[in-house]
Amino acid sequence: MIRVTETDLHGVLTIKPSAFEDHRGEFVETYNRELYRQNGITMDFVQDDISVSAHNVLRGLHGDAETWKLVSCLSGKLYFVVVDCDGSSPDFGKWQSFVLSDRNRLQVLVPPKYGNGHLVLSDTAIFHYKQSAYYRPEAQFSYLWDDPRFDIWWPGRNPILSRRDEQGRYVD
């Protein structure tokens, strides 16, 4: 069973899978195509990726015009941000944040034309995302994590960034 909830951003959903816990630990079904389809999540996912990051690493804001992403935190704790990056949208720049962790098992469905980024709050974290299109670097857009047009609140200062995230564009 999953619980699907609309967010303040058009097309962005949160998904809460149920967990089975007993004296041995916990079991969570993180994706079941039929169950997700029954809840209106009908896109096909073609690629799964993970990133492993240390405390205070910030990745993003990244996205593209064609890919749906289903994101979660497999281990640790993240501050996750989704922002409308569609220049033709009246909601361009509107953003929302979520705390994703291995304890709350919250997932976020991110539509095309939305950027996303995350800041690691725990010692380390494993970020997982399913994608509806294969990754193509040339199709990506990037914005600075602290772009003043978005005025995103981040729960830390001086994050650890890649060259791409320092410059706000794709860098080889």
Residues serving a catalytic function are 62, 129
Are the beta carbons of 131 and 50 closer than 8 angstroms? no
* Residues paired with residue 72 on neighbouring β-strands, in sequence order: 128
One-letter amino acid for residue 125 of the chain: A
What's the rounded Cα separation, in Å, for the pair 98 and 139? 26
Q: How far apart are CA 39 and CA 109, in angstroms?
A: 12
